[in-house]
Amino acid sequence: MSPVMSGIGMTSQRTRSRMLSRLREQGIRDEVTLAAMGAIPRHIFVDEALSSRAYEDVSLPIGFGQTISQPYIVARMTEILRGNGNLGKVLEIGTGCGYQTAVLSKLVKEVYSVERISPLLMKARGNLRELRMRNIKLKHADGTMGLPELAPFDGIIVTAASGHIPEDLLTQLAIGGRMVIPVGTEEQTLYLIERTPTEYLQTKLEAVKFVPLLGGTS
């Protein structure tokens, strides 16, 4: 039996079903997003000592001052990014432990994910290797710069809060594309940015709490 299915994994399907019920109660409506959340074993993305809390609606530490977002936030950002439509190529800023990356991989053709903290990226690679996902490309780079060489992207999801909406990321969004990003320092708000042929439309959504988006690499 694979490590994914051993231990807590034996009961995780029931636990995941409870998580999905809670997400529906919290207002998540996109069943495609919910199915992806239900298909990913969240417990393999957290430290073993915290695995019993993996399906609770809380953010958990993953080391290096970073966290894995609570299931509601992952589902909400994914649902907004999808907009009930199919996405081809998506850029994720902030791989973290790889959980959001794994969820996205179930929903889009290609996921490109950038992480600035090298040991964290190595950890994410190990987590994702267990799931044998072929449509994910990870890169150690400064997320504030995006990946201009691979632009444009149908969707961009930013998993850390920026003091402003980075210009470099806006220019990498395809026409008709969507970006979901938390903005703010002390008080943070989730924004949806939609690129039209002539402008960027901003929709202010809800209050959130993320670690700050930092430049550079380590």
For 179-214, the pLDDT digits (tens) are 999 999 889 999 999 999 999 999 999 999 999 999
> 10 Å Cβ neighbour count for 36?
21
Pairwise CA distance, residues 161 & 130, whole Å? 29
Using alpha carbons, list the distances in angstroms from residue 49 to 8, 19, 81, 121: 11, 20, 32, 20
* Catalytic, out of 51, 59, 69, 105: 69
Pairwise CA distance, residues 214 & 166, whole Å? 11
Q: Does the active-site annotation cover 21?
A: no
Band (pLDDT 50/70/90 cuts) for residue 12 is low
Q: What angle do CA 1, 40, 117 make, to 5 degrees?
A: 105
pTM surpassing 0.75? yes
List the chain domain ranges. 7-208
Strand partners of residue 87? 108
128-156 residue pLDDT tens: 998 999 999 999 999 999 999 999 999 99
**Alpha carbon 182 to its chain's center:** 12
The CATH superfamily label for domain 7-208 reads: Vaccinia Virus protein VP39 (3.40.50.150)
Do strands 188-195 and 200-208 pair parallel, antiparallel, or not at all (unpaired)? antiparallel
> 10 Å Cβ neighbour count for 129?
10
Using alpha carbons, list the distances in angstroms from residue 84 to 7, 47, 87, 178: 35, 33, 9, 12
